[in-house]
């Protein structure tokens, strides 16, 4: 029986990063992964690299270029007589991006001497893992001093609209359309629904988004959420809140969706329907509880250091509590690797940035104004529009704002919320500032280069004290 210092179950952004960091720290490491690519070959990267973060951003980028040809470039004096989209070429590019990155991870495993066990992992008592090969060979059992569970998550299903892989698809299916649907229905106005809706809307699809909640992007600061909803509707996304889908029936040519709202029952017909109602922790076939690992509501129970109820077994990423974000999983993987190696691994879950890659982008870190009100925390807030930023004017990216919130008594930075171009990049400054317990005054006194979009951060910090300069 092979024996390792660490066996990682799952090679997504949490698992593969944990495995690499363990190996860097001198620990003998193996990583179990069962994922197969479209050609049926074993691959690493999990949901994020194969059918999530990376391919969706590749399509978002392609669709944004297409959209700019007719919506942004004419104002720059650039006109094109005719614009065509070749979906097969766009999809081939997406596949190429995925292959480059997953091959890169496989190369990192080899470089760092991480042994890749290509199969499905099942926990056994005594910190052993049974690995059933993807090629249907004989199962083998390996043992480890430490085990890291990083099995991720999978799309949630709903009874009203069962995924058939044809007319009704989940987020994975929505990435591989071979043609632009004339009418596209999306159940769920969360991160996934809005990003996928944006892709196909830009390419010409009439998109209707059905959201059960009455509030748009309830987790976001509502100042930002309202601006974002207005913008997305202007772009063509038909977002309907407070709708409950009751049934979806398919034919050879369409899918009929019945839903209810405050005005009664309605029916819509679409060429394709995407079910994007969220994700659930994936621990299928892991047999965690049989191995003594406690679970609650489908998630593996862990403490603040990602330790499970079994000594020497850890769990990270989507399969434990907290936001289902790739960067959160990666940082937990690093922290656990360092804890195992005797170091002080740590992740500050209060300042994990969120990003929605619509255009303009939506990003935030820290607390929202609604959360602070509910907690009774005294605060001051300041906002600054992209419209007043020279770089935004020059680029034609004037839609959006930066909102900054500081404690009313101490001025400590509590939250930063951005709707605008490059929000995903700008929010990093906020995370760094909050990690170092900065005040809004600190950001107000830091020199930001001119002309840049980051000046909106500077001005928003000034606005908290009602002394913004350029508005």
CATH number, domain containing residue 392 = 3.30.390.30
Burial of 115-153, coded b for 16+ CB within 10 Å and e otherwise, reads bbbbbbbbbeeebbbbbbebeeeeeeebebebbbbbbbb
- Asked if the structure places residue 471 within a domain, the reply is no
Q: Are 156 and 36 in contact (CB under 8 A)?
A: no
| Size of the chain, expressed as the number of residues it contains | 471
* Pairwise CA distance, residues 136 & 147, whole Å: 24
Per-residue pLDDT, 72: 87
* Pairwise CA distance, residues 401 & 431, whole Å: 17
Phi-psi region of 295 (alpha: psi -120 to 50; beta: other; left: phi over 0): beta
- Asked if the structure places residue 104 within a domain, the reply is yes
* Per-residue DSSP letter, 469: S
Same domain membership, residue 148 and residue 17: yes
Same domain membership, residue 181 and residue 141: no
- Give the up-direction half-sphere exposure of residue 147: CA atoms within 13 A in the CB hemisphere: 28
Angle, helices 87-111/53-71, rounded to nearest 10 degrees: 140
Same domain membership, residue 380 and residue 342: no
- Asked if the structure places residue 248 within a domain, the reply is yes
Same domain membership, residue 183 and residue 131: no
pLDDT, averaged per 10 consecutive residues of the chain (471 residues), comes to 97 98 98 96 97 98 94 88 92 98 98 98 97 90 98 97 97 97 98 98 98 97 98 98 98 96 97 98 96 96 97 98 97 98 94 97 98 98 98 96 98 98 98 98 98 98 97 92
Cis peptide before 456 (omega within 30 of 0): no
* Pairwise CA distance, residues 240 & 242, whole Å: 7
Per-residue pLDDT, 213: 97
CB atoms inside a 10 Å sphere around CB 92: 11
Q: Which of 35, 271, 42, 272 is nearest to 171 (CA)?
A: 272
* Pairwise CA distance, residues 93 & 151, whole Å: 27
State the residue range of the domain holding 270.
168-277
CB atoms inside a 10 Å sphere around CB 179: 11
Per-residue pLDDT, 137: 82
CB atoms inside a 10 Å sphere around CB 450: 11
What are the C-alpha distances in Å from 283 to residues 46, 319, 324, 431, 453? Answer: 14, 7, 14, 31, 42
> Domain boundary residue among 254, 277, 300?
277
Same domain membership, residue 233 and residue 119: no
- Asked if the structure places residue 163 within a domain, the reply is no
- Asked if the structure places residue 161 within a domain, the reply is no
How many domains does the chain divide into?
3
Same domain membership, residue 90 and residue 10: yes
* Per-residue DSSP letter, 67: H
Sheet of 244-250: strand order equals 244-250, 255-261, 264-270
* Pairwise CA distance, residues 227 & 254, whole Å: 33
The angle subtended at Cα 262 by Cα 261 and Cα 267, nearest 5°, is 35
Per-residue pLDDT, 374: 98
Same domain membership, residue 334 and residue 221: no
Please say if 450 is a catalytic residue.
Answer: yes
* Residues 46, 280, 431, 227, CA torsion sign: positive
Same domain membership, residue 287 and residue 149: yes
- Asked if the structure places residue 470 within a domain, the reply is no
pTM for the whole structure: 0.95
* Pairwise CA distance, residues 386 & 404, whole Å: 14
* Pairwise CA distance, residues 92 & 281, whole Å: 30
Same domain membership, residue 288 and residue 247: no
Coil vs helix vs strand at 262: coil
* Pairwise CA distance, residues 128 & 144, whole Å: 6
Same domain membership, residue 147 and residue 29: yes
CATH code of the domain covering residue 123: 3.50.50.60
* Pairwise CA distance, residues 357 & 425, whole Å: 11
- Asked if the structure places residue 88 within a domain, the reply is yes
Same domain membership, residue 375 and residue 304: no
The active-site residue out of 266, 346, 437, 450 is: 450
Per-residue pLDDT, 216: 98
Q: Are 414 and 407 in contact (CB under 8 A)?
A: yes
- Asked if the structure places residue 330 within a domain, the reply is yes
CB atoms inside a 10 Å sphere around CB 165: 9
> Domain boundary residue among 350, 382, 408?
350
Per-residue pLDDT, 422: 98
Per-residue pLDDT, 70: 84
- Give the up-direction half-sphere exposure of residue 172: CA atoms within 13 A in the CB hemisphere: 17
> Domain boundary residue among 329, 350, 371?
350
Q: Are 251 and 272 in contact (CB under 8 A)?
A: no
* Per-residue DSSP letter, 113: T
Same domain membership, residue 94 and residue 223: no
Q: Which of 325, 330, 368, 364 is nearest to 347 (CA)?
A: 330
């Amino acid at each position: 029986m092979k024996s390792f210092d660490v066996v990682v179950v799952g090679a997504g952004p949490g698992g593969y990063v944990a495995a690499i960091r363990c190996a860097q720290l001198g620990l003998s490491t193996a990583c179990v992964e069962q994922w197969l690519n479209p050609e049926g070959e074993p691959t690493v990267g999990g949901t994020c690299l194969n059918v999530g973060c990376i391919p969706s951003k590749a399509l978002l980028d392609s669709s944004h270029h297409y959209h700019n040809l007719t919506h942004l470039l004419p104002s720059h004096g650039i006109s094109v007589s005719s614009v065509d989209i070749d979906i097969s070429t766009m999809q081939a590019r997406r596949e190429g991006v995925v292959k480059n990155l997953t091959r890169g991870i496989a190369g990192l495993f080899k470089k760092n001497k991480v042994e890749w066990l290509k199969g499905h992992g099942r926990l056994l008592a005594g910190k052993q893992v049974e690995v059933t090969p993807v090629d249907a060979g004989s199962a083998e059992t390996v043992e480890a001093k430490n085990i890291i569970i990083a099995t991720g998550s999978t799309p949630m299903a709903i009874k009203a609209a069962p995924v058939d892989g044809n007319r009704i698809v989940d987020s994975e299916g929505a990435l591989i359309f071979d043609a632009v649907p004339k009418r596209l229905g999306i159940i769920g106005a969360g991160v996934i629904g809005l990003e996928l809706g944006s892709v196909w809307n830009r390419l010409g699809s009439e998109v209707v988004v059905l959201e059960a909640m009455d509030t748009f992007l309830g987790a976001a600061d509502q100042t930002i959420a309202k601006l974002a909803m207005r913008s997305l509707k202007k772009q063509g996304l038909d977002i309907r809140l407070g709708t409950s889908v009751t049934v979806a029936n398919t034919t050879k040519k369409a899918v009929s969706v019945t839903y209810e709202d405050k005005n009664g029952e309605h029916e819509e017909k679409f060429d394709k329907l995407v079910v994007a109602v969220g994700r659930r922790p994936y621990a299928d076939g892991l047999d965690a509880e049989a191995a003594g690992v406690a679970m609650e509501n489908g998630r593996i129970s862990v403490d603040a250091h990602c330790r499970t109820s079994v000594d020497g077994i850890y769990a990270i990423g989507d399969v434990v509590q907290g936001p289902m974000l790739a960067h959160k999983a990666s940082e937990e993987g690093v922290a656990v690797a360092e804890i195992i190696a005797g170091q002080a691994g740590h992740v500050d879950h209060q300042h994990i940035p969120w990003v929605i890659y619509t255009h303009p982008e939506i990003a935030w870190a820290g607390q929202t104004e609604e959360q602070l009100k509910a907690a009774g925390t005294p605060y001051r807030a300041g906002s600054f529009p992209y419209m007043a930023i020279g770089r935004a004017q020059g680029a034609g990216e004037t839609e959006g704002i930066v909102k900054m919130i500081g404690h009313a008594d101490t001025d400590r930075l509590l939250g930063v919320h951005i709707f605008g171009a490059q929000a995903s990049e700008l929010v990093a400054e906020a995370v760094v500032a909050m990690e170092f317990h900065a005040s809004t005054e600190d950001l107000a006194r830091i020199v930001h280069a001119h002309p840049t979009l980051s000046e909106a951060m500077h001005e928003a910090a000034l606005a908290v004290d009602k002394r913004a300069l350029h508005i």
